[in-house]
Structure formats: structure tokens, C-alpha cells
Chain A
Amino acid sequence: MSIAACVRRIFAGVRRIPPAGRVCFLVAFVNVAIWTVVIPPFQVPDEISHFGYAQYLAETGKPPPQGPGAQYSPQEQTALNALDFVSVVGHVKQRGIFNSIEDRALRQTLATNPSPVGEGGVSSVTNQPPLYYALEAIPYWLSPSHEILFRLELMRLLSALMAACTVLCIYLFLRELLPGSPWTWTVGALVVAFQPTFDFISAGVQGDNLLFLASAATFLMLTRAYRLGLDTRRGVAIGLVTVAGVLGKLTFVSLVPGIALALLLLGWRARTRERGQALRGIGVAAAIVVLPVVAYAALNATVWHRGGPTGGGFAAAGTVALATGHAVNFKETLDYIWQLYLPRLPFMHREFSYYPLTETWFDGTIGHFGWVDYTFPTWIYTFARWLFIALALLACSTLVRMRERIRPWLGLMVCFAVMAMGLFAAIGYAGIRYRESTGAIFEQARYLFPLLSLYALGIVIAARGAGRRWAPALGAGLVALAMIHGLFAETLTISRYYG
């Protein structure tokens, strides 16, 4: 197929998206683009490391070797020093560049042209696969300026584009699930588009952004295949989004068992005359995932010399024998995973001095910003909890009322539940080992954002709980609330860094 034909097909595909979906995409992009300007350089969690990886890949054409050398290029290190990065992160009373003299000093320092080529030393993200960073290398190369802050802004805009694509995928996912309620597609997509913790992460050079996109696209493709049947084309789509996730961030691997189960289900439920087609779809999807992953593993081991086929990605998360000499056993891991999301049972060892369900996951989703160093006033979290309880009750009433209409989707929902449980388990498995080896808390609310599609689904199901007459109004109210929430988060961020 020629490039012109490809472009024509893409445009035809875009034209098939309802206008409201295109508006949601644009709204999400512009909103996150605003966030990219509001947040000072490198103040998105781990952005220094993600930028370092992308810069190394852009400059050398290969992922970081993870040796004992410096994590950041001389150029990035110089910029971090000139921005007083270390003094600002984690210290809410500190500000960055605040006056013209400091700004001039920053420009003069950057004008000394320190080398953008680093040593690719080991960091918290260098064990990740390179797809996100390879994509970020494109705006890095296309940047008309070699100034690091200019390049960072362009790279942030690519993340904003990924966020917009995530929102569009959620819009289309809801369209597949609720084809008779177009308003729910818009409400669900916009509630995510204005979710401030999602926006904050999306505004940075952060590997999670491809993870969120690949996950949302996977939910969409599986739902579409479930509704229309699995064929080769849909198998290709499922394979592509899955491999994008696996080669984007290793966290995505935790979703793979659920995806595999969904593929098996799709093959099993295909009618006899369509079974061959479905099996071809499964085969194509599997091949599309396996071949690039094997190639990546081989490159890691033989060409890039990154310490083994996975580049050390699973070794870091799965440390069993820790520096303290304590080995985390299976029961401890299970206790930890359970208590990360649910109340402790009497026979379990107490793993937390706080309640992660509310303090980590719920409050973190409402908003823990910066490098988790500033938050909303307490009343916001209290208000949000009551609102969430009300929405959960509404959602339950909808599910009971619509149980007959939901029944045909139960198989797919079970697969989604397996995907979610895989993610929960992976977070807990890595979390207890991280805590035992560093003493620090591992979990952040954004780790659950691969499930944003289910969050949006939950919101629109809750809105439908208001009844046919009032549901759209409640949906609009929830979008307005999300926008106010986002605006509050932006003003909070402006006061944190510029006030």
C-alpha cells in the first residue's frame, strides 16, 4: 500500500469518528498542553530519568547500557543544577527560577553548550523497554532548537498527544459498550480528559503515558472484537496495541494474562463457520506480540548488552533476597497485595500503618502533585470521598437495574477483571520488595491509570443511575466538576511553583 493510500485510510478512519469524539480528543490535547506549560521543567515525577533515557536514545540510537556511569547527560545535569531542581523537589517552600537575574544565569549556563550525550548510567527507568523513548526521540530530533528546555517542551507535547489519544480510545470504548447512549461517550471521555492527576503525568516526559494509551487502546480493541467478532484485522489491532504496551512499559505485562484470556474467549465464542477466522486472529495477535518481544530480548542480550534479555526489568521488580538479608516470602507478598486494596483480615500480618485504599489510591487519584510533594486542602479529599460513595451507590443501582443487558458482556468483564487483578498483583509484588529494600513507599495512584477506561465506565454507569431523565444532566454536572477539579489543581500548581 502506498503512503498516499495509507494517509487516505487514516483520514477516512478519522472521519468515521463522531464529531464529539474529535472534539474530546482536541479538548484533551489542549488541556494537557496547558499543563505542559504550567508545570516547570522536570517537575513531573521521574521526568529527569525519563528525559535522560529518551535523550540518550535520541543521541546514540540505542537504549542506555545501564552501567555505573552518570544517569544524565552533562547538558541535563547542567540544566537541573541551574534550575535548582534538587532544592525544589520535595520542598514546598522552595521555588525555582523566580527573577530575571536567575533566568539570565540559567540561559548563560545553557549557552555553554554542555554535551547532550550521556553515559546511559543506570536509573529507575533504564530497565524499561525503549518504545516510548524512541517515540520521544522524534520531537527531540525535530526540534528547531538544541536548547534542552525547548526540546523538553516539544517532547511534553508528544505526551499530550498520547493523552489525547487515550481519551479518544476511552470515548470509542464507551461507544462500543453503550452504543445507545451517545452522551455517555462524551461524558466518560471528558471526565478523564480533565482528571488532574492524569493530566499532571500526561504533561511530562513520562513512560506511563504510552502505558495509559496502550491500555486504553487494548480495552477498546478487545471490546470491539467482543461485539463484532474476532477476525484477522482485529487480531492485528489487538496484537499491535498489546506489543506497544509491552515494549512501552513492563507494567503492561501484568495485563497480558487477561488479554490472553480475552483472546481465548473470543475464539471460543466464535460461531463454527467463523472459528477459523477467529483462530487466525488469535494467531496473528500472538505473532505480532511475540516476534518483536523476542527481537527486543535478543537485542538486549546480544547487541545492547543490557544485562540479559529483559534489560533487568523484571529483576528490579522481583528482588527476593534483599540487601537487608530478609527474603520476602509468598505469604508476605499475598498479605501485602491484599492490604494494598482491601481491609486487613485478622490472620494477616499488618503491612501498613495507614489505609492504602483511601490514602494512596483514592486521595492520590484526587491529587498528590509534583514529586508527590503538594496536595489539596483536606476538605477536598473528604468531599470527594462522599461524592465517590454516592456515585458508587448510583452505579450499583444501575448495574442491578440493567443486569439483563449486562449479562452478554459478562465474559469480557471477567477478562477485564483478570487484567485489573494482574495489575493489582504486579504493583503489590514490586511494592513490598521496594519497601523492604529502600524503606520508601512505592505505590502511587497513577499506577492504576492503565484502568482509566474502567474509571470512565464507572462514572457513566453512575450517571445513568439518576434515571433516563436526569442522567445526562448528572453526566454534565460530573464533567463540570472534573473541570473545576482540574482548574483547582492548576491554580494549586501555579501557587506551588510561582506564588
Chain B
Amino acid sequence: MSGRAPRIAGTDHLNQVGFIATVSGGQTLCQPQMILPDDAQRVQMLIGTYGPPAPSLAVSFQDAGGRVLTSGRLAAGARQGEVAVPIGYPHGATAVGTLCVRVGGAGRVALAGDIFPPGPSSEQIAGRPQAGRIAVTYLRPGSESWWRLLPTLSRRFGLGKASFFGDWTLPVVALILVGLWVAVARLLVRELT
């Protein structure tokens, strides 16, 4: 619980099935229908560079009206693998929009993701729809312990379940669990002494 580590702010629910986009230097890949979590401070992707160090990567996130909500840049020189591009933070509430990744320099970068039918919802390179969507993980600022993450956990815990659950659920569950432990301790003392 006290161990500190980078924590996830969200994902785009896509798995890294393979490298599904190759972006040349100077090109931009844009992916619509993305959700930028309010607590995202880095955008993590799996990249391949065909050997040499990665060129610079610039990330931006635009809302439906084309307004840039946040952006960031990773300098050239990163090794291929998982890279985290820092973005401007804070950037406001959780928003729906388009994520764009611009590759600098002259090299090529392959991005991992999953197969997706080309169309308005798929990734687009230089404006052309491609047969895939890249997998993105948003990370929260810095490194955090689980204790520090508790309010966020509490909020997430109430989501995606029966509608009567909410932010209150995790604290209540924790209290019930404490009560259960006390009941068991009393039972053991009564039965075993």
C-alpha cells in the first residue's frame, strides 16, 4: 500500500496486439473518439523505431471543436519500447476528443495497437484512415502510493456497476470489513479460550 509507482489514469481499451501504424518523420497520426482523463499527465504508447533512437514525438489532444486542450513533447533519443510523453497538466475536466501524435525528424516510428476497420473512427495518418487504432495508456502525475490514490480508487470503485453504487461504496465496504474482522476476533476469543 505504501509503495510508490506511476498509476494509471485511463486507457483507450485497446490492447497491443501488434504494430498497426507506421508514421514517418513529419507525419501526424490522429485518432478520434478518445477520452482524455482529467488526471492524465503522460501519454504512454508502445513504439518501434527499427533500431535507431526514436525521433521526437509530439502529442496533442483536441476537443470536438478543434480546440487544443493539452499537448506535450518527448525529445528525440528515446529507446524503442514503452514511452511516456508528458503533456500539459492540469488540462481541465475529462474530455472526449482526438489524440494526435506527430513524429519529428526523418525516421519512422511504428505504434502498437489493435486492428480496426478503416473509417471515421479509426486512426488516420496524414488524413487517411488506416486499419487500426493505437493503444494508449494515460498515466497520472509522478509516482503515488495506494494510500494517496484512495480518493481516486473510491471514485472508480463506484463506476461500471449496478447504478445504486457510487463514491460511497469503497469506504462503506472497508468499514464493513473492519466490522467483520472485529466480529471474527471476538468469536475466536470466545470460542478458543
Bind each other: yes
- Could you list which residues of chain A lie within 8 angstroms of chain B, going by C-beta atoms? 20, 23-24, 26-27, 30-31, 34, 37-38, 40-41, 83-84, 87-88, 91, 93-103, 106-107, 145, 147, 149-150, 152-153, 182-183, 186-187, 190, 472-473, 475-476, 479, 483, 487, 490-491, 494-495, 498-499
Hey, which chain B residues are within 8 Å of A187, CB to CB? 192
| Chain B 43-61 residues near chain A, CB threshold 8 A | none
Known contacts: A84-B13, A93-B11, A98-B10. The answer to whether A41 contacts B160 by CB under 8 A is yes
**A150 pairs with B164, CB closer than 8 A:** yes
Least CB separation from A471: chain B residue: B192
B11 CB to closest chain A CB, in angstroms?
6
| Chain B 157-193 residues near chain A, CB threshold 8 A | 157, 159-165, 169-170, 173, 176-177, 180-181, 183-184, 187-188, 190-193
B contact face: mostly helix, strand, loop, or mixed: mixed
**B160 pairs with A106, CB closer than 8 A:** yes
**A23 pairs with B187, CB closer than 8 A:** yes
**A30 pairs with B159, CB closer than 8 A:** no
Known contacts: A87-B13, A150-B164, A498-B153. The answer to whether A37 contacts B169 by CB under 8 A is yes
A contact face: mostly helix, strand, loop, or mixed: helix
**A34 pairs with B173, CB closer than 8 A:** yes
Hey, which chain A residues are within 8 Å of B160, CB to CB? 40-41, 83, 96-97, 102-103, 106, 149
| Chain B 7-28 residues near chain A, CB threshold 8 A | 7-11, 13-15
**B191 pairs with A183, CB closer than 8 A:** yes
Complex interface bits, B107-151 against A, C-beta within 8 A gives 1, otherwise 0:
000000000000000000000000000000100000000100100
Least CB separation from B172: chain A residue: A37
**What are the 5 closest A-B residue pairs judged by CB atoms, nearest first?**
A97-B160, A472-B192, A84-B13, A150-B162, A103-B159
Hey, which chain A residues are within 8 Å of B78, CB to CB? none
22 A-B contacts, Cβ less than 8 Å apart?
A20-B190, A27-B187, A30-B180, A38-B173, A83-B160, A94-B11, A97-B159, A97-B160, A98-B9, A98-B156, A98-B159, A99-B10, A101-B94, A102-B35, A103-B159, A106-B160, A107-B163, A145-B163, A147-B163, A473-B192, A476-B192, A494-B170
Q: Which of A94, A98, A101, A147 is in CB contact (< 8 Å) with B96?
A: A101
Least CB separation from A183: chain B residue: B192
Kindly state whether residue B37 has any CB partner on chain A within 8 Å.
yes
**B188 pairs with A186, CB closer than 8 A:** yes
Cα–Cα, bound, A42→B193 (Å) = 42
**A153 pairs with B161, CB closer than 8 A:** yes
Q: Which of A98, A107, A183 gathers most chain B CB within 10 Å?
A: A98
Cα–Cα, bound, A101→B181 (Å) = 36
Hey, which chain B residues are within 8 Å of A186, CB to CB? 187-188, 191-192
Hey, which chain A residues are within 8 Å of B191, CB to CB? 20, 182-183, 186
Known contacts: A91-B15, A186-B191, A473-B192. The answer to whether A100 contacts B177 by CB under 8 A is no
